[in-house]
Amino acid sequence: MKSLKHLFEKNKVWAESITEKDSEFFSHLSKQQLPKYLWIGCSDSRVPANQIVDLPPGEIFVHRNIANVVVHTDLNCLSVLQYAVEILKVTDIIVCGHYGCGGIQAAMENKQHGLIDNWLRHIKDVARFHDAQLQATDDDKKFDLLCELNVIEQVKNICNTTIVQNSWENDAKLTVHGWIYNINNGILKDLDRCISSNKEL
Ligand code: CO
């Protein structure tokens, strides 16, 4: 072990502390995973899925990318979604954005950031769809608003995938939620966009 020795040490202490509380924890979990939730969140290091809802390994299936975007042609995200819905049969899909998102901020700027600008185009599209609402908002509130609007758009994108559409067609119990996390105080807020059917969509 050449480097990052401290991480292996921390891992050992962590695994031991879990086994101490429940000696069967890892042997049970190694046989199967049965998470009820799919989490689609930002890659930001301050927004770790399991930790902020205080759930142990095995409880959340996770996909993260910059600015929690669900792109219609992103095979990575769609494969996670398909596996979660069709195989794991999750009951809830959570799109969780966060205030102060660097991806959203970069998308609001009129300057180049390199390759990532091609990814951030999706957020510029969200801003374009909601141009009137953003224009009518005070400058100091625009950033927070776009973080929220981005979550709501990604909820719609998930609902419109063939995966979720077919699941609802088959009467599966599946709800898509839009949440936003405040990195200033660690508190989650529900954006009140729970969708469980095409009628609600
Ligand atoms: Co972010």
What does the domain layout of the chain look like in residue ranges? 34-195
Coil vs helix vs strand at 57: coil
42 as an active site residue: the answer is yes
Q: Is 147 a catalytic residue?
A: no
CA–centroid distance, residue 26 to ligand 1 (Å)? 31
Q: The pTM is what?
A: 0.95
Q: How far apart are CA 7 and CA 28, in angstroms?
A: 25
Q: How far apart are the CA of 65 and the centre of ligand 1, in A?
A: 8
Q: How far is CA 163 from CA 7, 39, 156, 178, in A?
A: 38, 16, 13, 18
Cα torsion angle, 45, 49, 54, 59, sign: negative
In CATH, the number for domain 34-195 is 3.40.1050.10
- CA torsion 77→133→145→115, rounded to 10°? 50
Residue with tokens 């990195």: 183
* Tens-digit pLDDT string for the chain (201 aa): 678 999 999 999 999 999 999 999 999 999 989 999 999 999 999 999 999 999 999 999 999 999 999 999 999 999 999 999 999 999 999 999 999 999 999 999 999 999 999 999 999 999 999 999 999 999 999 999 999 999 999 999 999 999 999 999 999 999 999 999 999 999 999 999 899 999 898
Contact call for residues 60 and 96 (beta carbons, < 8 A): no
Q: From the candidates 63, 77, 96, 98, give the one annotated as an active-site residue.
A: 98
To the query of whether residue 72 is one of the catalytic residues in this protein, the response is no
Whether 44 is catalytic: yes
Three-state secondary structure call for residue 35 = coil
CA of 72 to the centre of ligand 1 (A): 20
List, as one string, the DSSP characters of 81-136. HHIIIIIS--SEEEEEEETT-HHHHHHHSSS--STHHHHHHHHHHHHHHTHHHHHT
